[in-house]
Structure 1
Amino acid sequence: MKTKHTLVLRRIYGEQGTNGTIYFQGEKICHTIELPDRNNTPRFSCIPEGRYKLEKRTYTKHGEQIGIPAVLGREAILIHAANNAMKQLRGCIAPVTTLTGEGTGDEGAKALRKLKALVYSLWDMQYEVFLLIREGR
């Protein structure tokens, strides 16, 4: 049986966006920005809280990324760089280095590299990787 590792995304919901922080084994990896919670409406809402298996996916626009394939009622959800949720996201999760407001942050590419390095190293060791999303700090 494959060993499982779980990253935890803790979220705070706002009118203009959803901010979060991803932790692995208690250590902060990066912050995240997402769209506001709009009841899982495709392309307009962050994804629901829950536990999701992460998988390597290749997309025309973003190349090879960390995908979240099993989101109920949604498709093509992935983790990719962005600095403004309302302008640049359609339901995906964007890692950022610093949160600058509700649904905004900076140095997204740097945060994405850090997160991908961790997740890819776990995949390289044949681990299954999950993302647990919940409310709170």
Structure 2
Amino acid sequence: MSNTHTLYLRRKYGEKGTNGNITFKGEHICHTIELPDRDNLRRLSCIPEGRYKLEKRTYPKNGEQIGIPNVLGREAILIHAANNAERDLRGCIAPVTTLTGEGTGDDSRKALDKLKALVYSLWDMEAEVFLVIRG
């Protein structure tokens, strides 16, 4: 049997942003902020709901990040630090420690470190890691 693990992102859609909550095996990992749902418009919308395989991506500017490849019609979607979706995100997902409003939160770096520690530990065990996004 293959070694797969699934994280769940449950979303709440708002006019100014999309807020969510990532859980693993029923346990809260972090909150998330994203752009509002604008029909998957590149750089302007959160990504569509679905099941995505997470992959390690390395970027010159940001170093190693958790990538979300194979998003229909999109590229370079990452999970990275940001505290304000409208200002800092172009379709990516940002973990935050506390939600402060629609598409805004705080202590994103801390939340990202927690999420990365979990995902990287699963990758270290040769696991495939998936993210299931639901409304």
Query: TM class by shorter-chain length?
Result: over 0.9
**Contact 1:32/1:94 (<8 A) preserved:** yes
| SS at structure 2 position matched to 1:114 | helix
2: CA distance between counterparts of 1:121 and 1:55?
13
**Structure 1 outlier segments of 4+, above 4 Å:** none
> Where in structure 1 are there 5+ consecutive unaligned residues?
none
Match of 1:20 in 2: 20
The one-letter code of the counterpart of 2:44 is F
2: CA distance between counterparts of 1:64 and 1:2?
25
Match of 2:134 in 1: 134
1: CA distance between counterparts of 2:54 and 2:130?
5
| SS at structure 2 position matched to 1:86 | helix
Match of 1:67 in 2: 67
Verify: 1:10 aligned to 2:10, yes or no. yes
The alignment of Structure 1 onto Structure 2 pairs a total of residues equal to 135
In percent, how many aligned pairs have the same letter?
A: 79
**Contact 1:2/1:126 (<8 A) preserved:** no
Match of 1:29 in 2: 29
> Where in structure 2 are there 5+ consecutive unaligned residues?
none
Q: How much is the aligned-residue C-alpha RMSD, in angstroms?
A: 0.7
The two structures have a TM-score, normalised by structure 2, of 0.98
2: CA distance between counterparts of 1:60 and 1:99?
29
The two structures have a TM-score, normalised by structure 1, of 0.97
